[in-house]
Structure formats: structure tokens, C-alpha cells
Amino acid sequence: MPQIIAVLDFGSQLTQVIARRIRECQVYSKIFHYATPAAKLREEGVIGIILSGGPQSVYAKTAPHPDRAIFELGVPILGICYGVQLMGHHLGGHVAHSRAREYGHGQLSIKKAGKLFAGLPKTLRIWNSHGDKLEKLPPGFVATAVSDNSPFAGIEDRKRGFYGIQFHPEVFHTERGGEMIRNFLVGICGAKQDWTTKDFIAQSVAGIREQVGKGRVLLGLSGGVDSSVAAALLHKAIGQQLTCVFVDNGLLRKGERAAVEKLYGDHFHIDLRVVDASKLFLQRLKGVTEPEQKRKIIGRTFVEVFEKSLKSIKGSAEFLAQGTLYPDVIESVSIQGNPASLIKTHHNVGGLPERMKLKLVEPLRQLFKDEVRRVGEALGLPKEVVWRQPFPGPGLGVRVMGEITAQNLEILRNADYVLQEEMMASGYYWKVWQSFCVFLPVQTVGVFGDERTYDYVIALRIVESTDAMTADWAKLPHEVLQKISSRITNEVRGVGRVVFDISSKPPATIEWE
Ligand code: XMP
């Protein structure tokens, strides 16, 4: 039986982040419903339990409570935020009710390092997000750390292996929070650190097989990282039971469709159906110049085409797979403000699974982007796919300013191809967040040979960023920029001028739209 750390989920938006921190320690964990019976946890081979945070007060009528018998299992327990209040509440302490929530940075002073804070400095910056707080310790517990707002920011009952912290060690804003979690897993629960990406893949494969049985699965491929990794994982699990659909919306980059056909068709031998809808998209976009309008048309047309093509190939398919990641479920894990406000509407295509009576398969739902990349690498996807730069869903549709025409798209595609070649050749492709061309429907005067020209402008948008929330223009060496510019003006017909966008985000956005 594998060793498992159980994370009991009391409704915090950060429960998955706890699971992620555990994976980072190469320890196996599973998230369980908060009320999972203790007997079931024992059966599963649980060697330690983490009680997650949660938005409720332990006194609320609808407050989630654990099976009290978990405190008799004889395994270590770590309560985080709401979790520590549950410990206080159930083990004979007292929790003070407060209507106001407390958010933000605080300072932790460690009074007694014990096993949980072993190896850490005496003071640390921490992140708080709680309403109620522990007011009286349960019998057997001592305070191990205090913070600006609580004398019980850290507590422990060493004999029983119960630990509690009022703040959130799982978020990035808490200094060395990852080490506190590792101390709990390894130092306190005695977990082995041998859980790897390969184990994740093996487990996902088993999970997909169990969910899907002999059923057929459809997957919309976009060519992006998430759907590519989902395709490779599903293919490994169910082989020919998987059919992938790739919609060519006419807004793809040069060679993109061919690359998808080559990788999934020729390399993986996946049953790939390519739907060419480029004419329809262009037709619908004719004469449209307003950015939001373009986006709406592209989005709506995509759903329509995708649904129609799924209907035509559905046959006996029962499942629709999606490369949904955890950050798609929750917009940001930085808990700036109320975590509950961070829930993003689910990415599925407008009720389509329900309409078509397809059940969802989302094998990447618990992972973060960098973890998905690691899974992709382990599945043998090429670096160009796994580490590719983000590309917006509406594709080149947000990069042709003004009307989107076949001619303008062709100019943009050719210019962008040159840019990507030079970014790859110089190695900067891998160092920046995004690098792309934007087509400007502005004609300017130039000379080419002896001829006067009146050609369009291409803007280079090359930015550095860590999360796309903010970005700065990349300070590329002049020689690289020079080569890109001269190659584009020389090789791409219709372009007379190349400009470099030196705006940061904010106030500018990354895409020009
Ligand atoms: P902005 O332009 O808002 O872009 O600074 C931030 C990041 O999001 C990408 N982006 C999109 N991605 N669908 C996507 O999947 C979209 O409609 C979309 N619009 C922008 C953009 O490329 C950048 O990485």
C-alpha cells in the first residue's frame, strides 16, 4: 500500500496549492472530502493528515466538520488556518468568533522550533487570511509561535503529533512555508520522498482507464501546451479510443496545422480529425474592425464549428476530454483579497458537454502549468510543444489590427515566421515570455531597390513576464533586432517598415488586439 498524506478539503481555494507543495516534496497525497470517515482514511494507508483552510467559521450552521475519529487514528495532523480552529474546537480549546476577516502580511516569531519549524529563522514573513481565531489552547497543546495578531499562530501537541498554524504556509507570500510543509511530511509523518512525475502519469493513466472503460473519448486539440499534454496522456491511457479534433480557424501561424498533423498523426498515430473552417471564419470577420466584436465572432464561430464537427464524428463517444488546469479553475493563487472572488468560470465550451451528453474527462485538473510541462516532457512531447510561448485562443485574429483579411493574415504569418526563426536561432525564444508580430494596416512610404514603395507596418512585440499580469518589453540585443527587421523587410512582401513596441504592461496589454 502506498503511503498517503490526506488533505481534508474544507473549502479553501488553496487546497490544491497545499497538494502542489506536497508534490514538490515528492510525497504522494490525495485530497479527500472533509467528512471522509477515519476508517476509510486508515484503509487508504494514510500516514498523516492536513486539514485545509476554509471560508467558514466553525460556529456556522453549514460549517464543514471532520469525522472526529480522525483525532484517534494515531497519525500526525497539521491544521492550517480553519484547520487549526477545527483542532481547537474539537479538542477542547476555544475559538473566538469574528465577523471581520484579516488578510495580508504579518510577522511570525517562532518561540519553540520543535519539529514543524526546524531549521527556520526565528522571525518570518507570513500571509494571513482568517476571520475567527484560536483564543484558548486545547489541553495538551503549547504555543510554538506568535504573530502580530495571534498568540497562537503556531501550536503543537508533540505527544499526539498534532500541529496547527493560523497562517497559510502554502502560499508564496509566506516565507519558507514550503519547508514547514516538508517538515510536517518528512520530519513528523516520516513520508518517503519518492513520488515523481512518472508516478503521477501512471496514476493518471489508471484513473483515466477506470473512468472511461471501453468508451470513446473526444478531445479538442488547440496545439497549445495543455491540450497537447492531455492528448499524449489520454493516448497513453486509452490509445485508439481517443479521437482528437483540430479546428483550423484560418487564424493560425504559418505551419501550425502541418505541425499538429505531423506530431499527433504521424508520430503518436492518434486518430486526428482536422476541420478546415478557415473560409467560414474569414467570411464572418469580413468588414469587422472592432476588437471585442472580432473576439465574439471568433469565439462563437469556434463553438459552432467545434460542436458541429463533434456531432459528425461522435458516433459512440461518451466522453469529452479537456486540458483544464488548476489555474483555469481558480484564476490566481496569490490570494490578493478574498479567495472566493478568484473563482473563474469554468473553461468548457458553453454547456456543450451537457448538450451533447458527453461526460468530461479532465486529467490535468489538479496540476499547475509547470507541472503540466513536466508531464509533457516525461510523455515524450518535443520541447517546442512543451515549452512553447502562450498563444491566444483567437490566434492571429487579435494580431491583425483593423480588418482581418486573407492578405493581411498572410503578411503577418510570413513576418511572424521570420521572427520566430530568429528568436529560435538566437535562443531568445526560450528566454522571453512571448515574441510575436502585429500587423498594422498603415501604409508608409519606402524605397526598395529603385522603386518607391507604399507598404504596411509590422510591430514586434517581445515581452518578459512571469505570469502575464505584468510585463515589460524585452531588452533584446540590437544585432538581433536588426537581423529580424532587415529579414522581414527584405523577405516579406507587403511590409515596408518594422517597429519595436517598447510599452510595458500596464498600461499597455501584451496583445494589441
Ligand atoms: P494581455 O493582452 O491581456 O494578455 O496582456 C495576457 C496574456 O493572455 C494571452 N491572451 C489570451 N489567451 N485566449 C487565450 O488563451 C485569449 O483570448 C487571450 N487573449 C490574450 C496573451 O497572449 C498573453 O499571454
Instruction: Write the DSSP string, 3-45.
Output: -EEEEEE-S-TTHHHHHHHHHHTT--EEEEETT--HHHHHHHT
Average pLDDT over residues 366-381: 94
Q: What is the chain's mean pLDDT, rounded?
A: 93
Instruction: Give residue 504's identity as a one-letter amino acid code.
Output: S
Closest approach atom of ligand 1 to CA 508: 5
* Choice among 25, 81, 189, 244 that is catalytic: 81
Closest approach atom of ligand 1 to CA 434: 24
Contact 130, 81 (CB under 8 A): yes
Cα–ligand 1 centroid distance for 171 (angstroms)? 25
Nearest to 228 by CA among 271, 269, 273, 260: 260
Q: What does the pLDDT read at residue 375?
A: 97
Q: Which residues contact 470 (CB under 8 A, 6 or more apart)?
A: 504, 505, 506
Closest approach atom of ligand 1 to CA 398: 19
CB atoms inside a 10 Å sphere around CB 247:
22
26/175 Cα distance (integer angstroms): 20
Residue 318 among the catalytic residues: no
From atom 11 of ligand 1, which residue's Cα is the shortest distance away? Answer: 392
CB atoms inside a 10 Å sphere around CB 280:
14
CB atoms inside a 10 Å sphere around CB 139:
9
Closest approach atom of ligand 1 to CA 391: 22
Q: What does the pLDDT read at residue 330?
A: 58
Cα–ligand 1 centroid distance for 464 (angstroms)? 14
* CATH topology identical between 4-188 and 405-500: no
Q: What does the pLDDT read at residue 57?
A: 94
Average pLDDT over residues 392-420: 97
Nearest to 177 by CA among 386, 63, 2, 25: 25
Cis peptide before 506 (omega within 30 of 0): yes
Q: Which residues contact 267 (CB under 8 A, 6 or more apart)?
A: none
Average pLDDT over residues 4-19: 94
Cα–ligand 1 centroid distance for 337 (angstroms)? 23
Contact 319, 212 (CB under 8 A): yes
pLDDT at 419 over 60: yes
157/155 Cα distance (integer angstroms): 7
Cα–ligand 1 centroid distance for 327 (angstroms)? 14
Cα–ligand 1 centroid distance for 388 (angstroms)? 14
Average pLDDT over residues 311-318: 92
444/455 Cα distance (integer angstroms): 6
Contact 106, 174 (CB under 8 A): no
pLDDT at 199 over 50: yes
CATH of domain 405-500: 3.30.300.10
* Choice among 168, 362, 422, 437 that is catalytic: 168
Question: What global pTM score does this model have?
Answer: 0.86
- Which alpha helices (DSSP H) does 91-247 contain, by range? 177-182, 197-212, 225-238
Cell of 225: 501546451
Average pLDDT over residues 431-458: 96
Question: Reading across the β-sheet that carries 162-165, which strands appear in turn?
Answer: 29-33, 4-9, 46-51, 77-80, 162-165, 150-157, 142-147, 102-110, 123-130
Average pLDDT over residues 92-121: 92
Cα–ligand 1 centroid distance for 435 (angstroms)? 13
Pocket test for ligand 1, best of 325, 511, 512, 513 (most atoms within 8 A of CB): 511
pLDDT category at 467 given cuts 50, 70, 90 is: confident
From atom 9 of ligand 1, which residue's Cα is the shortest distance away? Answer: 392
From atom 14 of ligand 1, which residue's Cα is the shortest distance away? Answer: 392
Contact 473, 436 (CB under 8 A): no
In this prediction, what percent of the chain has a pLDDT beyond 70? 96
* Choice among 156, 170, 179, 362 that is catalytic: 170
Nearest to 137 by CA among 101, 102, 184, 87: 87
Domain ranges of the chain: 4-188, 197-386, 405-500
Contact 367, 328 (CB under 8 A): no
Decide which of 3.60.40.10, 3.20.190.10, 1.10.150.120, 3.40.50.880 is the CATH code for 4-188.
3.40.50.880
Q: Which residues contact 5 (CB under 8 A, 6 or more apart)?
A: 22, 27, 28, 29, 30, 46, 47, 48, 49, 50, 185, 189, 191
Radius of gyration of the chain (CA): 27
Pocket around ligand 1: residues whose beta carbon is below 6 Å from it?
390, 392-394, 434, 468, 505, 509-511
From atom 20 of ligand 1, which residue's Cα is the shortest distance away? Answer: 392
From atom 12 of ligand 1, which residue's Cα is the shortest distance away? Answer: 392
Average pLDDT over residues 362-375: 93
Residue 173 among the catalytic residues: no
In this prediction, what percent of the chain has a pLDDT beyond 90? 86
What tens digit of pLDDT does each residue of 319-359 get? 999 998 887 765 433 333 333 333 333 344 567 888 889 99
Cα–ligand 1 centroid distance for 69 (angstroms)? 48
Q: Which residues contact 55 (CB under 8 A, 6 or more apart)?
A: 11, 12, 82, 339, 340
Residue 102 among the catalytic residues: no
Fold of 197-386: Rossmann fold (3.40.50)
Closest approach atom of ligand 1 to CA 390: 24
Closest approach atom of ligand 1 to CA 509: 5
